[in-house]
Amino acid sequence: MSELKKIATRLAYGEALREFGADPRIIAMDADLGVSTMSAIFGQAYPERYIDMGIAEANMAGVAAGLATTGKIVLIHSFAMFAPGRMYDQVRNSIVFPRLNVKVVGSHAGVTVGQDGPTHQALEDIALMRALPGMVVLSPCDANETRLALRAMLDYEGPCYMRTGRLAVDQITQDIPGYRFELGKGCTLRDGKDVTIVATGYMVAQALKAADALEQEGVSARVIDIHTIKPLDQELLIAAARETGAIVTAEEHNIIGGLGGAVAELLVENHPVPMERIGVRDTFGRSGDPASLVEYYKLTPADIAQAAKKAISRK
Amino acid sequence: MEKQKVLELSLAAAKMRRLIVDQVYAAASGHPGGSLSIADILAVLYWQELNIDPKEPRKADRDRVVLSKGHCSPGLYAALALRGYFPVEDLKGFRQTESYLSGHPEMNKVTGVDMSTGSLGQGFSSAVGIALAGKLDQKDYKVYAILGDGEIQEGQVWEAAMSAAHFKLDNLVAILDNNNLQISGSVDKVMSPYPIDEKFAAFGFEVIHIDGNDMNQIEGAIHKARTIKGKPTLILAKTVKGKGVSFMENNYKWHGSAPNKEQYEQAVGELDAEIARLEKEVAAQ
């Protein structure tokens, strides 16, 4: 694992948005949380194209849609609980249905939000956005990948959702030989033959640690980073099921409707193999420090390793 | 407004009303009441006030119309078809599987539709966004958002209103179709939004009261709105729901239901008589 300092994906996002922000078509909006979502970093550099919409997320989504009809690339920001959580209908009917070029960026996703507790820990956002026809759903795992995901999202013409996290996380991808980012393509971060751990976002680092632990026990685990949950890299995942014969998904999201659901839907129709899902097990979050919540909800490398062994035993 | 102009606009509105009834009857569903109530407003906009070119429907500097009360698509479709955006013949397909004329307007399917609408309250926010883009890009187009009086029960409308005034969008004109009826009954009995004028004024709008079925008053309000600087305008248009079809007027049951054959024939009889009368008067001028 890299010795680089930990960086939250929300911070990497804000810095990347400033980096790519010179394009005059870009408009960034926030609902009074710019210093938390880090969209304010863009706002400091480009105040004339940064709009605070106040605490009114539904209106922000609609105004973004209107702006996008004139050819602008509009990025709207809040906590994932509110963007897209609070504005689901607006995202569906005013943005995704007319295929407008609006990017919804939800920070503070998952239980690693920590002390703010369940009302602010989005665990259903991927499920909501994944169900929308034509929506692109991104969930990058570290600073480098977040930057590349933002670049790809800006280059793609159409609606997208990206979730970022509050917690500072390990930098992983810049050290992986052969790593390259392509929208809709998963990345094999580590090869293995006994089981494949398919992870997204915060859980990618946990999956790599689990693979290290499994190696100590003589289990060879492949690790695939799925930064684009929709469209899903079907080819890579079916090949992993075929070649390793067991799958574990890992996400900081409800096990219903998110990455685990997407992979299960794909494999059950194409190449069913024993599969286990690591994630929040159909419950709400709770207040606490992030590290203890990761243990409480069984999202640790040890939990992933255990699930991997269980999947292998079911072969 | 000259009498000749009033007659011509009234004729356009009468033809729209006939097409509204035709569409809803052919589809055996749809929303005639609120479509009929805004026909006069649509006539003044599409035949006189809007800077638009049906031959260049996506022209960047065009004025925009956002039908935030998207269920009144039969009215908008009738206006667009009569102005040449697509064949009048196509209206027969309204709400049918093979047609591009959905129950609610779709910007990617219907030429001349500036924003997809239907989920109430959302179109007003989009109109704010288009007006905001006009300010950012220093364009001088106007954005007209047509809202229902039931629609303003949606909280999003007030979020949008707050932002329109905050951004000083004097290029935004909201036209509120105040026919006082929604699907379940009187707006004031279901969930009163009154006093509408005081609410919008408190939110920072210039408010203009008109009879929304009077061509002169509609034109006057739109012209006055152009002179207002530094804030958006609300034209509070008192209208008659179902206007032009005697048995549909002021009856909430015609919010979202289609006439049967007998009712359709009566409606067409009334509207065709009105069209014939207006054509004769226009010719006589």
Q: Could you report the per-residue pLDDT of B154-166, keeping only the tens digit for each?
A: 999 999 999 999 9
pLDDT at residue A1 greater than cutoff 60: no
What type of residue is A7?
I
Chain B residue numbers with beta carbons less than 8 Å from the beta carbon of A61 are: 125
The C-alpha of B254 sits at a distance from chain A's nearest C-alpha, in angstroms, of 26
Chain B residue numbers with beta carbons less than 8 Å from the beta carbon of A75 are: none
Three-class HEC string of A135-167: CEEECCCCHHHHHHHHHHHHHCCCCEEEECCCC
Q: What is the pLDDT of residues B94-132, one digit of tens each?
A: 999 999 999 999 999 999 999 999 999 999 999 999 999
Task: Please report which confidence band the pLDDT of residue B39 belongs to, taking 50, 70 and 90 as the band edges.
Answer: very high
The residue written with tokens 């159909």 in the block is A282
Average pLDDT over residues A205-226: 98
Instruction: Taking the CA atoms of A93, A99, A101 and A106 in sequence, report the sign of the dihedral they define.
Output: positive
Nearest CB to A97: which of B116, B134, B160?
B116
**Residue A208 pLDDT:** 98
**Residue A210 pLDDT:** 98
**Phi/psi of residue A228, nearest 5 degrees:** -110, 105
User: CB–CB of B119 and A89 under 8 A?
Assistant: yes
Chain A residue numbers with beta carbons less than 8 Å from the beta carbon of B114 are: 69
**Residue B266 pLDDT:** 98
Q: What is the pLDDT of residues A148-186, one digit of tens each?
A: 999 999 999 999 999 999 999 999 999 899 899 999 999
Counting Cβ atoms within 10 Å, is residue B91 exposed (0-12), middle (13-18) or buried (19+)? buried
User: CB–CB of B163 and A93 under 8 A?
Assistant: no
Query: What's the whole-number average pLDDT of chain B?
Result: 98
Between CA A193 and CA B237 the distance in angstroms is: 71
Chain A residue numbers with beta carbons less than 8 Å from the beta carbon of B126 are: 62-63, 65-66, 69, 94
Q: Which two tokens stand for residue A188?
A: 């094999």
Query: What's the whole-number average pLDDT of chain A?
Result: 97
Which among A166, A167, A199, A153 has a CA at the least distance from the CA of A301? A199
The C-alpha of B124 sits at a distance from chain A's nearest C-alpha, in angstroms, of 8
**Residue B283 pLDDT:** 94
Residue A66 near chain B (CB below 8 Å): yes
What is the number of other CB atoms lying within 10 angstroms of the CB of residue B216? 14
Q: Please confirm, yes or no, whether A124 is among the known catalytic residues.
A: no
Q: Which position among A3, A19, A48, A57 bears the catalytic label? A: A57
Residue A102 near chain B (CB below 8 Å): no
Chain B residue numbers with beta carbons less than 8 Å from the beta carbon of A93 are: 116, 118-119, 122
What is the number of other CB atoms lying within 10 angstroms of the CB of residue B283? 8
Between CA B198 and CA B151 the distance in angstroms is: 17
User: CB–CB of A69 and B115 under 8 A?
Assistant: yes
pLDDT at residue B216 greater than cutoff 80: yes
Average pLDDT over residues A82-95: 98
* Closest residue, chain B, to A63 (C-alpha): B129
Which ranges of B203-260 would DSSP assign to H, the alpha helix?
215-227
Q: Is the pTM of this model over 0.80?
A: yes
* Closest residue, chain B, to A64 (C-alpha): B129
Task: Please report which confidence band the pLDDT of residue A4 belongs to, taking 50, 70 and 90 as the band edges.
Answer: confident
CATH code of domain B3-284: 3.40.50.970
**Residue B285 pLDDT:** 82
User: CB–CB of B118 and A93 under 8 A?
Assistant: yes
Between CA A172 and CA A290 the distance in angstroms is: 20
User: CB–CB of A67 and B132 under 8 A?
Assistant: yes
**Residue A99 pLDDT:** 98
Q: What is the pLDDT of residues B63-85, one digit of tens each?
A: 999 999 999 999 999 999 999 99
**Residue A139 pLDDT:** 98
The C-alpha of A24 sits at a distance from chain B's nearest C-alpha, in angstroms, of 10
The C-alpha of A28 sits at a distance from chain B's nearest C-alpha, in angstroms, of 13
User: What does chain B come to in residues?
Assistant: 285
Q: What is the pLDDT of residues B170-196, one digit of tens each?
A: 999 999 999 999 999 999 999 999 999
The C-alpha of B7 sits at a distance from chain A's nearest C-alpha, in angstroms, of 35
pLDDT at residue A102 greater than cutoff 80: yes
Structural domains in chain A, CATH included, are 7-169 (3.40.50.970), 184-313 (3.40.50.920)
Average pLDDT over residues A174-202: 97
User: CB–CB of B129 and A56 under 8 A?
Assistant: no
Residue A27 near chain B (CB below 8 Å): yes
* CB proximity list for A289: less than 8 A, separation 6 or greater: A114, A115
Chain A residue numbers with beta carbons less than 8 Å from the beta carbon of B125 are: 58-59, 61-63, 65-66, 90, 94
Chain B residue numbers with beta carbons less than 8 Å from the beta carbon of A62 are: 121-126, 128-129, 156, 160
Average pLDDT over residues A236-254: 98
Task: Please report which confidence band the pLDDT of residue B203 belongs to, taking 50, 70 and 90 as the band edges.
Answer: very high
User: CB–CB of B126 and A58 under 8 A?
Assistant: no
User: CB–CB of A64 and B107 under 8 A?
Assistant: no
- 8 A C-beta contact, residue B24 and residue B31: yes
**Where is B44: in which H helix or E strand?**
helix B39-44
Domain boundaries, chain B: 3-284
